[in-house]
Amino acid sequence: MDLKRFFTDDTDEVNSSIKIWGEEFVHAVKVTRHKVGYKLIVNNNTPFDYYCTIVKINKDHLEAKIDKIIKNDSENAIPVRLYIGVNKDLDTVVQKAVELGVQEIIPFYSAHSNVSTIHYDRINKIILESAKQCGRAVLPTLHTMVSLSQALKEAEGTDILFFYEGERSNRVSDVRLIHNEVSIFIGPEGGFSCEEVQMFSGAESTVLTLGKRILRVATAVVSAFTLVNQKLSEL
């Protein structure tokens, strides 16, 4: 039987035991029916898996004895950010990006955005579920929505990879990465306007193609991350 993975905000010094609170506690006790003596994996947003045995279940938290600590190697050596144009498929986009190793997700609005609000609580739950499903020890960070110009400013000092349906020749395999962090930019369903493309041309970015077909946003994210992970030797 596979061990279930749970995240904790326990900030106490991890020595011989660790605690699980909040919704993860409720999930462990009410949903997956964990009891005293059950084994599980606990993560506290450090690059380690804590293999534990439940020793006590209290009213609002459970306590688990740490049996062993193993380094979790699921994180990319070079962090990858996703700057994503807000769109109606953001749930799926975030799920796939987390599975493919994204460290930060920054939604932005632009000229052709057809969505104006984001359900942050729901997206954060998707991040949690996806990270647990694919065995990650550190939860990616979801940032508040910004404008495209602000997103470009924040990405300065990283390798900015701008995926644009109008590009036909430049490919990820040809890119020379010079920084210690990669920023992937993918637009909303309506794509980028001519003025926005010019913004990228004026910035220190590389305009790239994902092929000759116009892809849906979720497909573009999976394709871009796969190619970037291959470039970073993460596949």
Q: Domain residues for 9?
A: 5-71
Helix 217-231 × helix 90-99 angle, to 10°: 20
Band of the pLDDT at 1, cuts 50, 70, 90?
low
Quick one: pLDDT at residue 235?
A: 74
Q: Are residues 101 and 34 in the same domain?
A: no
Quick one: pLDDT at residue 12?
A: 64
Q: Are residues 9 and 112 in the same domain?
A: no
Q: Are residues 32 and 132 in the same domain?
A: no
Q: What is the pLDDT of residues 118-160, one digit of tens each?
A: 999 999 999 999 999 999 999 999 999 999 999 999 999 999 9
Q: Are residues 219 and 189 in the same domain?
A: yes
Q: How far is CA 78 from the centre of its chain?
A: 13
Q: Are residues 210 and 114 in the same domain?
A: yes
Q: Are residues 155 and 39 in the same domain?
A: no
Considering its fold, how many domains does the chain have in total?
Answer: 2
pTM, 2 dp: 0.90
Quick one: pLDDT at residue 185?
A: 96
Q: How far is CA 217 from the centre of its chain?
A: 16
Q: How far is CA 168 from the centre of its chain?
A: 28
Q: Are residues 99 and 211 in the same domain?
A: yes
Q: What is the pLDDT of residues 179-199, one digit of tens each?
A: 999 999 999 888 888 888 888
Question: What are the strands, taking DSSP E only, across the chain?
Answer: 5-7, 17-21, 39-43, 48-57, 61-71, 80-85, 104-109, 141-142, 146-147, 159-163, 182-186, 205-208
Quick one: pLDDT at residue 125?
A: 96
Q: Are residues 123 and 168 in the same domain?
A: yes
Q: Are residues 139 and 106 in the same domain?
A: yes
Q: How far is CA 163 from the centre of its chain?
A: 18
Q: Which of 49, 71, 93 is the last residue of a domain?
A: 71
Q: Are residues 96 and 65 in the same domain?
A: no
pLDDT at 76 over 70: yes
Q: What is the pLDDT of residues 2-59, one digit of tens each?
A: 899 999 987 666 778 999 999 999 999 999 999 999 999 999 999 999 999 999 999 9
3 state DSSP class of 22:
helix
Q: Are residues 219 and 173 in the same domain?
A: yes
Quick one: pLDDT at residue 37?
A: 95
Q: What is the pLDDT of residues 81-127, one digit of tens each?
A: 999 999 999 999 999 999 999 999 999 998 878 888 899 999 999 99
C-alpha torsion sign, points 155, 93, 162, 85: negative
Closest by CA position to 83, among listed 145, 176, 165:
145
CATH code for the domain in which residue 65 is found: 2.40.240.20
Question: What are the strands, taking DSSP E only, across 59-149?
Answer: 61-71, 80-85, 104-109, 141-142, 146-147
Band of the pLDDT at 174, cuts 50, 70, 90?
confident
Q: Are residues 224 and 153 in the same domain?
A: yes
